[in-house]
Amino acid sequence: MAMKGQKFIKHYPKSLIFEAVRLHVDEGWKNSKITGHLGIHDKDH
């Protein structure tokens, strides 16, 4: 059972993580553009 205030960590495929890092480092994309492009939706942002 989850405790009050506990956050759950989402697990993504390594290929998706590597692509996100590549876009950020090599292409200079901001996090919001990367998440939109890759279809990742973070409720905190």
- Asked if residue 29 lies in contact with residue 22, where contact means CB atoms within 8 angstroms, the answer is no
CA distance 18 to 6: 27
Residue position matching structure tokens 């553009």: 33
Q: What is the pLDDT of residues 17-36, one digit of tens each?
A: 999 999 999 999 999 999 99
Mean pLDDT of the chain: 85
Where is pLDDT greater, at 29 or 7? Answer: 29
Task: Indicate the domain borders of the chain.
Answer: 8-45
Where is pLDDT greater, at 6 or 10? Answer: 10
